Each structure stands twice: as structure tokens, then as C-alpha cells.
Structure 1
Amino acid sequence: MTDAVPTALLADRLRRAGEHASAQGTDVLLLTPGTDLRYLTGFTGSSHERLTCLVVPAAGHRAPPALVTPALEAPGFTGVPLDALGVELVTWTDGEDPYLLVSDLAGGPTRIAVDDDMAARHVLGLRAAFPDVPQTLGGAVLRELRMRKDTGEIDRLRAAGAAIDRVHARMGEFLRPGRTEAEAGADITAAILAEGHTEAAFVIVGSGPNGASPHHSVSDRVIEPGDVVVVDIGGPMPGGYNSDCTRTYAVGGEPGPEVKETYAALQEAQDRAVAAVRPGATAAEIDRTARAHIAAAGHGEHFIHRTGHGIGLDVHEEPYIVDGNDLVLEPGMAFSVEPGIYQAGRWGARIEDIVVVTDDGVERLNTNPRDLVVL
């Protein structure tokens, strides 16, 4: 598998972005460097205080897409197929107002959408250039494309899942009584990179009471015999698509009956939630499936976050698997299923797999055992 996205596919994404913008009553979509721009053009770079902005007119507008960028940044687009995509490259130099340049290219829109992660300095600069034009979030346009993965994207997510599974399979090397979370985390980071990731975007090693903090990172706490340890790890592969997988371990001895009973309820909840994934189900139904079993086991108040999040070029993206989200699941949607039970001040547990909705059900992209592994 090559890392480059075929130009024909990028062109199709640009076309469909314009169609979705038009369908939502948006005249122009404005994107600065980030995953949305990468999704549409293949550009993987970044920018700083100087404005780089892709101008995508809605379908039906006569103006072609244009990329506004500082002249000193233009060489960074050498490998981006702008000509083949029909994107005009427009440069500016220090002393010019790039926001007015964007305004000229946009051609008098009545509604614009800016990407969700655009820096405030650029949002405000564009607002000054379009003083009477309402701004909305571009994520509402692009999520219609990005949350439905094509076969190439699913292949990349599948490869990322297999790579992080291989790291989890080595936890016996890293988690031992007497080591600190930070020491284990350093070894895990090295293993993530060795398995082909471009970075370890996050490494959570939550031992004992730290496992009850879902977004704990690592600390100098020493792992003790009998600790329950939550390990949540992941990051991007060279193609940009991310892994994200959580497993829970018992280190230095068999856990007690309470831990075993609670973990069994969690494992059953995760299995039931994954089994409920299919075309036609809603995101809310998956969340409620996991939550209902955990509540029935007496731990409803200890499940303190949504059941999952979409994944792709971002670790967290649409669709979000949470009660109240009545989005109907469709083939190609990829997201985590990760219920957790957290006993504040004592211990916690979480099981997380990335899944993809198939034509008739679901595929798990993480295949390691989900049992409470005793190391």
C-alpha cells in the first residue's frame, strides 16, 4: 500500500465537498492546514501565523478552487497535485492582506464555512474581510465525506490496528512490579514507533488508582503487585490514519473477585455493543447497549464517558457514539467501542476496539484478546 492518495480520488473528494457545501447552503468552504486540507488535497504540512487557505466554492459557482499561501511556503506544495486537481495556486508576500485576497477569490458569498480547527487569528482575519457574511463550521460539510471511509482508508485503519495490536502483545515486557508508569510508557512509545507509527500520539499507563482517570497519561507512580493497569495507546501511521486501542492488565498476580466480576461485566458490555453495530442502527443505540449492561451490573455511575468516537486522519472525529446522537450507521463508518468502569481512588478498566460498519454487520480492526490479561 502506498501512502499517497490517488489524484482521481482527491479530485472526487473536492467535487463532493463543493456539492455538500451547496446542499447545506454554504457558498464557500475555507480550510487552513490540518486534516481537512490533507483529506482534500494530500497536503501534510502546516502553517504558522501566515495564512494558508484553500478556497472551495460550492457546486454551481463558476470560480475554481484556489489555494492562497505565502510565497515562501509555496515550495512546500511541490508534491501536491494542484494542477491536476484544478486548484489555482495564489501566493502573497509579507505586507499584503491575505484575507482580502481570499475575499476576492470567494466572489461575494452570503455564507462561508471555516474549518473546525482554524486558528482564531485566521477566523478573525476572515471575519474582518467578510464583515457582513455569517460564518459556520466547515466540519458540518466535510463530516459527510470523512465519516464514510472508502476501501483504501479502511485498509489503512486495518493496518494501523494490526500494528498497535502487536504492541499490546508485548505488554509482558513493559508492565512489571517495581517499574514506574513513565518507564513502561517510554518502552511502549519505542515499540509504537518500531511498529511503523510516525509518532506515539498518546500513551496512557494508568496503574492502580490512576486507572480510574480515563485520560491519565503516565506518572512516577511505581506499579505494585496486584495492580490493575489500563493501557490506552495509538497514533498515526505514515498514511496519516490512526490506531487507538485499550486493554486492561493485572500485573504481578491474579486479581481479586471484585475485579474479576466487574471486569466480566465490562467485557460483556463491550461485546454486546460491538455486536449491535450494523447498518441501520444508530450511534445512540450502540451507546445505550453498552451502558445498559454496565448499569444492570451496578456500575452505571462509574461509566463516565461516551462509548466511542470516529477515527481516521484524526484520532477523534465523527461519528461520536453517544446517547442523543441519532445518526444512522452506514457501511464504511469507523469508530471505537470503548466502555469503561472507573472506581475513583481505587482502580479502573477499559476495553477499546476500532470497528468498521460493513454491508451486513461489523468488523473489528483490533483482534487481540479482550480478557483481563494477567502478567
Structure 2
Amino acid sequence: MDVFKDRLTRLRARMADVGTDLVALGPTSHMVWLAGADPHGDERPVMLLISQTHAGFLMPALNANSVRQMTDLPFETWTDDAGPGEALAALLKACGPASTVAVDEAMRADFALLLLDAMDAPARDFSHTTLGHLRAMKDAAELDTLRACARLNDAAATAGFDALEVGMTERDVARVIHDHYKTNGAKPEFTIVGFGQNGAFPHHHTGDTALAEDTAVLIDTGCRFNGYPSDMTRCGWFGGTPDATFLEVSGVVEQAVQAAFDAVRPGAVAKDIDAAARGVIAAAGYGDYFVHRTGHGLGIDIHEPPYITATSDVMLHEGNVFSIEPGIYLPGRFGVRLEDIVTVTADGAEILSGLPRTIWTSRR
């Protein structure tokens, strides 16, 4: 429990720094990070309110005994026949006066409105300036878990490429990867397998397309291990000599990845990382085919701040963890995306994966 006490202390310090009187969390990953509690989520209002003097839950009585095993923080419970109103009023009174509130951006809208209607017209913001800011800087234990998950993902992606055979479907390859996760104590988080022109869809839905000779293959996959996820993309060419344009595009994407890595350091701005990758691709004449941001943060959630976009002025700090994943997508032909998760260190970027980004080629 010491880690959660430390996080609560840090949150209160951050609230003081930014002038936030109250932080309100729903049953989301924010609550998991701060209190280690993961209540059953349905339409019954659940929230954790934090002020400088009090931290406590609004909790349906139905769930109280179960959640009590996860946290020592106090509860204001309510029953279905009474409703949450009186319990919420008691919790707000315990927290003290609040003229500013930061609301969990992932909280259900009806929960948030219930809270705001019970308060006296507070100035409001989302929790990205308080708890989100803290979550974005991973501690040593979180980084160790993310490294372990990344290395497990390396082996699973390798198993997927090595299993490729003529006639296999994209779903077959995903099944190989998922079996590797499960065998090694992890849960599949997601898997995109794109054969040929399907790789040109950045968020392709893995399907029943069968593998043929002389085909580009894109695998973007991640698992969840000890509560944290992984995320990585590698590309390959199955059968014969890779297409010359495929090799050219792969080389450009690798240069873009390297340029982005080189721009990472404490104090750098997120949009400058995006610009470094995007500039390489644009200079090679493929700018119109890089159709998404360069990266997203990764922690308990597979997508969380900081986001590495062309418009983000967020300054990077040591401990930030995010993807670098530029891509070039040629409609009707193929797509190439190379993705690694990095953490910001005093010296630049540490790559969590140990798997080279070398384009995989068939060993048959």
C-alpha cells in the first residue's frame, strides 16, 4: 500500500501547484493507479474524491465488501433504494469547500454531471493537469514491468513471423501470437495482421485474407502482463525478393524512426518529435502517405498521454513512455509502419524492445 500513499501525497502536491481543490475519479485506470482499486463498473455511480484533507469513495453498498479488499480509503456507501445523493453530499462535506475541480476525463458523463450538479458551480478542468501529469512519468517499478512486457511481445511477434506459410490467414497468424502470450502468462491486448494491401490500412481489422507468395506483411501487436501493456509493429516480406518500392519505403520509415529517437530528450516538445519523423518522410516524397500522429503514451492504458502529435506543446520529462511509430501507407499496395516504445531518460530515449526493426524476410 505504500506506493498508493506515495502517489496520493504526490497528487496533493501537484493539486497545490496547479490550484486544484478537488480531483474526482471514476472507476477508470486513474483509480487503479492512485488507489489500486478496480470497482465493478456499471450504471451505479462510483467515484473517488481527493482534496487536501480527505480522500474517499462514493461506493454502491452492493460492491463495498469486494472493493474493501483493495483499498483502506473510507467509503460513503449508498443503496439502490436510497440512491447516491445523500452519500455524495456527505463525501463532498468531508472533502471540504472546493471552488475548482479536476474531473476524470474517462468518467461516465452521468457520473460527472451528478458530481457537478451537487457542487456550487466550481471552475472545472480534466485530470490531465493533475493525476494525468503524474501518471505520464513512470516510476522504476512501472518501467521494469513495461520492459518485461515488451520483451515478451518481442518473442510473440517473432513467433508470428516465423509461422508464416502460404495459405495461412491473418487470423491464423494472430492466433499463433495470442497462444504465445497465453503460454507465457500474458493476455492478448490487440493484434493487427495485414497482408499485402491490407497493411495500407493503419487500423486494419485482422481477417480471413490468405497469405500468398511475394506479399508484404505488417504485424502490430501487444499483450498485457502484470497489469501493463506492450505495443510494437514490425514488417516483413514473405517469399521471393522484396519489391524494390517496399524496400525503399521501409528504409525511409526507418530513417524517420531514427530521427524521432534522436529528438527525444527531457525538455523536448512533443510536436518536435513528430516533426522530426514527418520531415524525413516528407523529404522522401511520401508526406501524403503518413496519415497519423507519430506516437502515443503508454502505461496502464495502451493509449494515454503524452501524445506525440504535430500540434502538441507538451514538454517531455524523464520517465515519460510513448510510442514512436511513423508509417507510409500506399493504397492498394502495402503499408510499412515501424513502432517501438521508448522512455525518456537523462540521455535521450531508451527503447524497451530488444527486437531489431530489420525487415523480416522468408527463410524458406
What TM-score does the superposition give when structure 2 sets the normalisation length?
A: 0.94
Q: Which residue of 2 aligns with 1:49?
A: 43
> Within 1, Cα distance between the matches of 2:184 and 2:295?
25
- Contact 2:161 2:360 survives alignment (8 Å): no
> Within 2, Cα distance between the matches of 1:80 and 1:158?
26
* Unpaired stretches in structure 1, ≥5 consecutive residues: 1-6
> Within 2, Cα distance between the matches of 1:298 and 1:178?
34
User: Alpha-carbon deviation of 1:120?
Assistant: 2.1
SS in 1 for 2:231: strand
> Within 2, Cα distance between the matches of 1:148 and 1:261?
36
Q: What percentage of residue pairs aligned between the two structures are identical?
A: 37
> Within 1, Cα distance between the matches of 2:39 and 2:211?
39
Q: Which residue of 1 aligns with 2:352?
A: 365
User: Alpha-carbon deviation of 1:73?
Assistant: 0.5
Matched, 1:207 2:201: no
Q: Which residue of 1 aligns with 2:277?
A: 290
Q: Which residue of 2 aligns with 1:105?
A: 91
AA of the residue aligned to 2:358: D
**Deviating 4+ runs (over 3 angstroms):** none
Matched, 1:193 2:151: no
- Please list the CA deviations of residues 1-48 of structure 1 after superposition, one character each: whole Å capped at 9, or x if unmatched: xxxxxx222111112222323333322111121110000111234321
> Within 2, Cα distance between the matches of 1:327 and 1:133?
26
Q: Which residue of 2 aligns with 1:65?
A: 55
SS in 1 for 2:188: coil
SS in 2 for 1:128: helix
Q: Which residue of 1 aligns with 2:212?
A: 224
Q: Residue 240 of structure 2 is aligned with which of 253, 278, 286?
A: 253
SS in 2 for 1:201: strand
Matched, 1:344 2:338: no
> Within 1, Cα distance between the matches of 2:325 and 2:64?
42
Q: Which residue of 2 aligns with 1:13?
A: 7
Q: Residue 330 of structure 1 is aligned with which of 305, 312, 317?
A: 317
AA of the residue aligned to 1:8: D
SS in 1 for 2:230: strand
- Contact 2:24 2:49 survives alignment (8 Å): yes
- Contact 2:160 2:174 survives alignment (8 Å): no
> Within 2, Cα distance between the matches of 1:175 and 1:225?
11
User: Alpha-carbon deviation of 1:131?
Assistant: 6.2
- Please list the CA deviations of residues 244-293 of structure 1 after superposition, one character each: whole Å capped at 9, or x if unmatched: 01101111222111111111111111122112212222211111111111
- Contact 1:71 1:91 survives alignment (8 Å): yes
What TM-score does the superposition give when structure 1 sets the normalisation length?
A: 0.91
- Contact 2:218 2:336 survives alignment (8 Å): yes
- Please list the CA deviations of residues 138-158 of structure 1 after superposition, one character each: whole Å capped at 9, or x if unmatched: 233212100111111110111
Q: What aligned pairs does 1:133-152 form with structure 2 within 5 A after superposition?
A: 133-152=122-141
> Within 2, Cα distance between the matches of 1:100 and 1:23?
31
AA of the residue aligned to 1:71: A
- Contact 1:235 1:315 survives alignment (8 Å): no
SS in 2 for 1:143: helix
* Unpaired stretches in structure 2, ≥5 consecutive residues: none
User: Alpha-carbon deviation of 1:99?
Assistant: 4.2
AA of the residue aligned to 2:74: E
Q: Which residue of 1 aligns with 2:287?
A: 300
- Please list the CA deviations of residues 342-375 of structure 1 after superposition, one character each: whole Å capped at 9, or x if unmatched: 0012210100001111122221101211011112
- Contact 2:167 2:211 survives alignment (8 Å): yes
> Within 2, Cα distance between the matches of 1:288 and 1:189?
35
> Within 1, Cα distance between the matches of 2:162 and 2:358?
18
Distance 1:42 1:336, change over 3 A: same
Q: Residue 36 of structure 1 is aligned with which of 30, 35, 50?
A: 30
Q: Residue 68 of structure 2 is aligned with which of 60, 78, 89?
A: 78
